[in-house]
């Protein structure tokens, strides 16, 4: 039995889990809020009530059944944020087809792998996105995807042809299919983007993602009066679970500002649509706050929202609360394999808790911090690996039992690979990735700790810290910084490594002070807004003329 002094916590169970399918929950929202807005997609001029959205979902569901999709068949979805994405999400859930979320940044090799590994029967995609020609890329790999029987491209003849088949199936037949489903059926495959190796398909059930979206919404205090601005990508759980399912499970409105992140479009949308909630990763909020005309926007309708996806800088969080009127903003922490959220700060938490932790355990979830070597739960206040178990843990990696067993142990604990500390009051701090630890001369350095300090420099807008090879200490600290225009060191010269070190001197331990500082215009990112630190390491190693790989934990 785990004692109260150990880093273990179990979430509240006062609000029951939703023991229903996604479609059953959605239909309840339609019955209660049919004349209220469900979906607003600004860049496509879409504005549908719950009743109108339901009719469109029914049309696509019937068309997919006419195509021949059975329960458990896989449908690949390769597109940025647009209304067809949301329709496909709810239509596949209605008929029990498993939606395979494909990263919009995928190129041919990644596309071919995901389609083949998942055994996708039908591909649904945007024809183009930014500089990507999806139609041409799919044509390149079509012969190497033997399970894919057909590809449908939104807005083109193939899309119209698919919808035209809806009349071959009745709404009653679609409803019968929906009623036959179990909430423990898999309904979504999310390919995780690791830094090395092939992506793994985290397989999630109705029960996983419906409940996680619902309890995230509960944490934000959602009701049918809320309007949730969702600029984060649907392909990731942040968008399609915390955003879409978090909204519809409360009868709230999903508001989509654009197909790709644009800070101006986000603020215009919040203002014009009177959004009450705004989502984003830290880099998105940094971009919004950094607009030269930020003060021109009326954001007074905002009260809550979520900052997640990567560590949240304290200074940025404070600005979000003070300048964006998001007094009840929350921070969520999780991973794709856990649907995704395991901890969340409370909307009424004291500000110091919301800017210095990722909150406490989510309802119906267990969490602990364990010694990575022994697996034993560590005392509170001690660093270790964050682990979680409960309804939110994935069914497994699609068709990869060995990798599943390597991530979920025999007791059901999901091993996240993240370093964490649980305080005496149950609040959790994520201090970095186990593999991201910088080990300098035997001293363990958490990059996040250095980043948080450098954010307090008045001329540093954003910062990422990585370890780079060092012949004497094994690793040295390297900081990549984005600076304000005409930023300078304490003596008035342009900000450089010496200036940053002078700022750090006497304020943080000497071994944490960056040996190298590189000014960078843009960080390499995944489509979900996560900064790819391994690319920064490679860039620093090459630019600084260093040799050999960095030492990792």
Q: Are residues 412 and 443 in the same domain?
A: no
Residue 502's domain is classified under what CATH number?
3.30.300.30
Structure-model confidence comparison of residues 506 and 479, the more confident one: 479
Q: Are residues 190 and 298 in the same domain?
A: yes
- Tell me what the mean pLDDT of segment 439-453 comes to: 82
CA 243 from chain centre, in angstroms, equals: 10
- In this prediction, residue 224 carries a pLDDT of 98
How would residue 248 be classed by pLDDT, with cut points 50, 70 and 90?
A: very high
pLDDT in tens, 516-527: 999 998 999 877
DSSP string across 442-465:
TEEE-HHHHHHHHTTSTTEEEEEE
- In this prediction, residue 534 carries a pLDDT of 85
Q: Is 201 within a domain?
A: yes
Q: Is 16 within a domain?
A: no
Rounded Cα–Cα distance for residues 536 and 485 (Å): 22
**375 contact partners, CB below 8 Å, separation of at least 6:** 409
Average pLDDT of the chain?
92
Q: Are residues 33 and 95 in the same domain?
A: yes
CB count, 10 Å around CB of 141?
Answer: 18
Q: Are residues 465 and 413 in the same domain?
A: no
How would residue 193 be classed by pLDDT, with cut points 50, 70 and 90?
A: low
How would residue 471 be classed by pLDDT, with cut points 50, 70 and 90?
A: confident
- In this prediction, residue 434 carries a pLDDT of 79
Q: Are residues 299 and 230 in the same domain?
A: yes
Q: Are residues 454 and 354 in the same domain?
A: no
- Tell me what the mean pLDDT of segment 529-536 comes to: 85
Q: Is the pLDDT of residue 194 over 70?
A: no
Q: Is the pLDDT of residue 14 over 90?
A: yes
Q: Are residues 168 and 252 in the same domain?
A: yes
Q: Are residues 360 and 505 in the same domain?
A: no
- In this prediction, residue 487 carries a pLDDT of 53
CA-CA-CA-CA torsion sign (362, 368, 369, 373): negative
Domain count of the fold of the chain: 2
Q: Is the pLDDT of residue 299 over 50?
A: yes
Contact between 445 and 479 (Cβ < 8 Å) = no
Cis peptide, bond prior to residue 244, ω within 30 of zero: no
- In this prediction, residue 320 carries a pLDDT of 95
Rounded Cα–Cα distance for residues 332 and 359 (Å): 7
Q: Is the pLDDT of residue 82 over 80?
A: yes
Taking Cα atoms as reference points, which of 361, 360, 421, 429 lies closest to residue 390?
A: 361
Q: Is the pLDDT of residue 313 over 80?
A: no
Q: Are residues 483 and 416 in the same domain?
A: no
Q: Are residues 358 and 443 in the same domain?
A: no
- In this prediction, residue 465 carries a pLDDT of 94
Give the tokens for residue 371: 């010694």
Q: Is 8 within a domain?
A: no
Structure-model confidence comparison of residues 216 and 281, the more confident one: 216
For residue 487, the enclosing domain spans 437-543
Residue 56's domain is classified under what CATH number?
3.40.50.12780
**515 contact partners, CB below 8 Å, separation of at least 6:** 470, 476, 477, 478, 497
Q: Is 245 within a domain?
A: yes
- Tell me what the mean pLDDT of segment 326-341 comes to: 95
How would residue 204 be classed by pLDDT, with cut points 50, 70 and 90?
A: very high
- In this prediction, residue 532 carries a pLDDT of 86
- In this prediction, residue 540 carries a pLDDT of 94
- In this prediction, residue 195 carries a pLDDT of 37
CB count, 10 Å around CB of 34?
Answer: 15
Structure-model confidence comparison of residues 408 and 195, the more confident one: 408
**123 contact partners, CB below 8 Å, separation of at least 6:** 75, 76, 78, 115, 138, 145, 148, 150, 151, 152
Q: Is the pLDDT of residue 551 over 50?
A: no
Lowest mean pLDDT among 54-58, 174-178, 510-514, 525-529: 525-529
pLDDT in tens, 132-182: 899 999 999 999 999 999 999 999 999 999 999 999 999 999 999 999 999
Q: Is the pLDDT of residue 544 over 60?
A: yes
Rounded Cα–Cα distance for residues 145 and 168 (Å): 28
Q: Which of 393, 422, 451 is the C-terminal boundary of a domain? A: 422
Q: Is 507 within a domain?
A: yes
Q: Which of 422, 446, 478 is the C-terminal boundary of a domain? A: 422
Q: Are residues 286 and 352 in the same domain?
A: yes
Q: Is the pLDDT of residue 311 over 50?
A: yes
Mean pLDDT is highest, among 16-20, 442-446, 469-473, for: 16-20
Q: Is 265 within a domain?
A: yes
DSSP string across 205-264:
EHHHHHHHHHHHHHHTT--TT-EEE--S-TTSHIIIIIIIIHHHTTT-EEEE--SS--HH
- Tell me what the mean pLDDT of segment 28-35 comes to: 98
Question: Which phi and psi (to 5°) does residue 510 adopt?
Answer: -60, -35
- In this prediction, residue 436 carries a pLDDT of 79
- Tell me what the mean pLDDT of segment 36-53 comes to: 98
Q: Is 431 within a domain?
A: no
Q: Are residues 165 and 217 in the same domain?
A: yes
DSSP string across 156-173:
SHHHHHHHHGGGGS-HHH
Q: Is 552 within a domain?
A: no
Taking Cα atoms as reference points, which of 218, 316, 241, 285 lies closest to residue 12?
A: 218
Lowest mean pLDDT among 18-27, 142-151, 261-270, 305-314: 305-314
Q: Is the pLDDT of residue 382 over 60?
A: yes
Q: Is the pLDDT of residue 282 over 90?
A: no
pLDDT in tens, 384-397: 999 999 999 999 99
């Amino acid at each position: 039995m785990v004692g109260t002094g150990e880093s273990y916590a179990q979430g509240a169970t006062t609000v029951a889990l939703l023991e229903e399918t996604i479609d059953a929950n959605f239909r309840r929202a339609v019955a209660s809020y049919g004349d209220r807005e469900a979906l607003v997609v600004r860049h496509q001029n879409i504005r549908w009530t719950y009743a109108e959205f339901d009719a469109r979902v029914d049309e696509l569901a019937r068309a997919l059944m006419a195509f021949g999709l059975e329960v458990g068949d896989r449908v690949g979805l390769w597109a940025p944020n647009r209304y067809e994405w949301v329709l496909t999400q709810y239509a596949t859930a209605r008929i029990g087809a498993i939606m395979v979320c494909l990263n919009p940044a995928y190129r041919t090799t990644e596309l071919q792998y995901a389609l083949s590994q998942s055994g996708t029967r039908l591909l649904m995609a945007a024809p183009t996105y930014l500089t990507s020609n999806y139609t041409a890329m799919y044509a390149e790999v079509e012969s190497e995807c033997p399970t894919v029987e057909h590809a449908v491209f939104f807005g083109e003849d193939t899309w119209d042809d698919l919808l035209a088949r809806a009349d071959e199936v009745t709404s009653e037949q679609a409803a019968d299919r929906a009623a036959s489903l179990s909430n423990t059926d898999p309904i979504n495959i999310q390919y995780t983007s690791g830094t090395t190796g092939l992506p793994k398909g985290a397989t999630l059930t109705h029960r996983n993602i419906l409940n996680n979206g619902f309890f995230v919404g509960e944490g934000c205090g959602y009701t049918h009066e809320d309007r949730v601005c969702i600029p984060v990508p649907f392909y990731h759980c942040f968008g399609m679970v915390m955003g879409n399912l978090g909204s519809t499970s409360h009868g709230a409105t999903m508001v989509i500002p654009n197909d790709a992140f644009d800070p101006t479009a986000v603020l215009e949308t919040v203002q014009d649509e009177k959004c009450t909630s705004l989502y984003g990763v830290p880099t998105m909020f940094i971009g919004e706050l950094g607009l030269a005309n930020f003060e021109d926007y009326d954001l007074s309708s905002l009260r809550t929202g979520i900052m997640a996806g990567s560590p949240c800088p304290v200074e940025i969080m404070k600005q979000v609360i003070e300048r964006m009127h998001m007094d009840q903003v929350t921070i969520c922490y999780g991973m794709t394999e856990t649907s995704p959220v395991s901890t969340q700060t409370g909307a009424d938490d004291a500000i110091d808790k919301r800017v210095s932790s990722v909150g406490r355990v989510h309802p119906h979830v267990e969490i602990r911090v364990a010694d990575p070597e022994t697996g034993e739960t560590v005392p509170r206040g001690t660093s270790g690996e964050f682990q979680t178990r409960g309804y939110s843990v994935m069914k497994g990696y699609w068709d990869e039992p060995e990798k599943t067993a390597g991530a979920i142990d025999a007791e059901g604990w999901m091993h996240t690979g993240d370093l964490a500390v649980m305080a005496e009051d149950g609040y959790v701090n994520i201090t970095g990735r186990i593999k991201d630890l910088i080990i300098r001369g035997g001293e363990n350095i958490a990059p996040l700790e250095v980043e948080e300090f450098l954010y307090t420099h008045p001329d540093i807008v954003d910062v990422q810290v990585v370890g780079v090879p060092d012949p004497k200490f094994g690793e040295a600290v390297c900081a990549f910084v984005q600076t304000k225009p005409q930023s300078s060191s304490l003596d008035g010269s342009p900000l450089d490594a010496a200036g940053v070190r002078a700022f750090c001197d006497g304020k943080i331990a000497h071994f944490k002070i960056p040996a190298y500082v590189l000014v960078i215009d843009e960080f390499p990112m995944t489509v979900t807004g996560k900064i790819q630190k391994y690319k920064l390491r490679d860039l620093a190693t090459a630019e600084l003329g260093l040799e050999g790989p960095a030492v990792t934990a």
